[in-house]
Amino acid sequence: MVFSKIKRFIIGDPIASHLEEGERLSIPIALAVFASDALSSTAYATEEILLAVVGTSYALQANLLSLPIAIAIALLMAIVVISYRQVITAFPQGGGTYEVSKERLGPLACQIAGGALLIDYVLTVAVSVSAGVAAITSAGLPGLTYESRLPIALGLIALMTFINLRGTKESGKALAFPAYFFIASMATLIVMGMWQIFSGQVTPLPEVATALPVDPETQSIFGAALFLAALKGFSHGCAALTGIEAISDGVKVFKEPSDVNANRTLVIMGCILGTIFISMTFLAYHLHIQPDHHKTVISLVAGQVFGPGSPLFYVFQAATTIILVLAANTSFSGFPHLANILAHDGFLPRQLMGLGDKLVFSNGIFILGVLSILLVWVYQADTHALIPLYAVGVFLSFTLAQAGMVLVHYQDKHKGWKQGLVINFIGAMTTGIVTIILTIEKFTAGAWIVLVAIPILIWIFRSINNHYQSIGRQLALPTESDYCPTPFEHTVLVLVSSLNSGTIPALEYAKSIGHHVEAVHVELNKRSTQNLRDHWDEWGCGIPLTILKSPYRSLVTPILDYVDEVEDRYDHDIVTVIIPEFVTKKWWHNLLHNQTSLMIKTLLRMKKGKVVTSIRYYLKE
């Protein structure tokens, strides 16, 4: 009762199943839910490029590569968006990369995709919230220091978990204003920044001679340094693509026609994301922005455009912080839906299949919150330490999705299949190469953890699946069509600690279900045992009483040993153990009593051929 009241207070009143259609999302709200992750990546993707290229030799020349790198990433982004539009059309039931891989690439590929995406969703929460906290501490507000990151991040993840447990539509409404507020703030920054640059209020970077040195040896070193800088910047900047796949996983949450609305939302998101990403990189390049350990690049850009202490600067920082934190909501939508699909296929526990009171997969949401909190705590909410773990799983799932779509086009040969095949083939090759680059370039920075985690998850998937298949075989109905249940004999043991009003109903019940009934008492105190003997003839209902000695004052061990002895003594099919229990009126009264019966029941459940029954006596006060 108390638990139910607490639950209602936290997540609100339950929603009836027939109202599920009303909980689905329109395009404006769905954009806020699913685009938050992708939009938030614009707050740190440019910074990741600059951190990669500026930290190399020939730093000034390498910095000139930031804009071309951003354009290359934007082109890759367009390919991925087009690919996932085709995924949604081909698999309108949702599941995205996982469903494509399962349908066309086989069990191992779909398990790899499932593992990579689950890891990606957990990392999305950790990275987004950590980046949001970095924006808070970069604002220079009193009392908020760099060291404040961890407690703030943990609290924000707990808050996001709470919001999502209240339902998809409710969390979507909560996200709508912050998402559009961020878009408006970013548009204001871009317009003002561009106007300042092109009106001459900001001096552009001086032209730098990019011709290679004449000396062949120096020339080769110079060229190799620039190439490596570009490659590193490209791999780091690909963080801008994170979150694109989430819409394909959660198609079912869109209003009908769900696949059409999901595709429209995906295109809108891609256009907004690409525009903001290229514009932010352009501004950072022309404003001479260099990465700072304690301040984000996006805050430095805003500081130059709006003025570091202006109201617009703090408004922009607030918008950035909110979108970064709420970007985690994309995962809170995608992770439970993917976990539900994996559970349906027998790769995850079936508890992840059930819809909660608010028509959301509550268990999946809760698990995601716990895993994200653990990850943030381990990495101390450090965005730059988390991002190397992030991109490998994302691009691995991109590659599998597009490779699967190549087979869809080739095998089904639907209208326009040749064009789709070419697009997806190019996409699969591109994202596959990026996956290899990311794996090599970020291996020592933490990508190896993901490469180890995915095989572990695959082993877990297969172990769970084998378990469920084994259960299915063992629980299959008999093949005989004339099967009829047959009665069996059983021995009934009543565990008696003392004679009281709660013991009598258990003795009466035992006599009603069996002919061979025996009461069992473990002697822990001679006086109590003698008192039981003195009153047994009057209140024992004619049932024989067995006293078990316990020289080491153990209650559980003598009972378990005696149950085995009785089973060997009698040629009966079942041994039924009855445990009298009293139920207190208030839940906290239970804390004042030992829970020995719970331990006995748990241990007896592990023994074949044993039935354990509790006969409860309810106390009035």
- pLDDT of the residue at 354: 67
Average pLDDT, rounded, for the chain: 79
Angle at which helix 2-11 crosses helix 149-165, to 10 degrees, equals 100
Give me Rg for the CA atoms of the chain.
Answer: 32
Residue whose pair of structure tokens reads 């229990």 in the numeric block: 581
Domains of the chain: 30-468 (1.20.1740.10), 490-618 (3.40.50.620)
Rounded to two decimals, the pTM is: 0.73
pLDDT at 256 over 50: yes
Residues 186-201, mean pLDDT to the nearest whole number: 87
- Residue 471's pLDDT band, with cuts at 50, 70 and 90, is confident
CA-to-CA distance for 244 and 240, rounded, in angstroms? 9
8 Å CB contact between 372 and 126? yes
334-351 per-position pLDDT tens digit: 788 888 889 889 999 988
37-92 per-position pLDDT tens digit: 777 777 778 887 887 776 554 444 545 778 888 898 898 888 888 888 888 888 88
CA distances from 380 to 127, 131, 147, 395 (A): 11, 12, 9, 25
- pLDDT of the residue at 141: 62
Count the neighbouring beta carbons within 10 Å of the beta carbon of residue 468. 16
CA-to-CA distance for 287 and 281, rounded, in angstroms? 10
576-596 per-position pLDDT tens digit: 899 888 887 777 776 666 677
CA distances from 520 to 267, 333, 455, 511, 532 (A): 72, 54, 51, 14, 11
Cis, bond preceding 206 (omega within 30 deg of 0): no
- Separation of CA 495 from chain center: 45
507-537 per-position pLDDT tens digit: 889 988 888 899 999 888 888 888 888 888 8
Contacts of 442 (CB under 8 A, 6+ apart): 235, 388, 391, 392
* 3 state DSSP class of 546: strand
CA distances from 290 to 192, 421, 434 (A): 20, 41, 25
- In the sheet with 516-523, reading across from the earlier edge strand, the strands are 545-549, 516-523, 490-495, 574-583, 610-618
pLDDT at 12 over 60: no
- Give the amino acid at 329: N
CA distances from 228 to 65, 139, 282, 452 (A): 11, 33, 21, 26
Count the neighbouring beta carbons within 10 Å of the beta carbon of residue 154. 18
8 Å CB contact between 196 and 343? no
* 3 state DSSP class of 560: helix
110-137 per-position pLDDT tens digit: 899 899 889 988 988 888 788 778 767 7
Higher pLDDT, 72 or 389: 72
CA distances from 576 to 272, 410, 488, 550, 617 (A): 67, 62, 12, 22, 19
Residue 502: what are its φ and ψ, rounded to 5°?
-85, -15
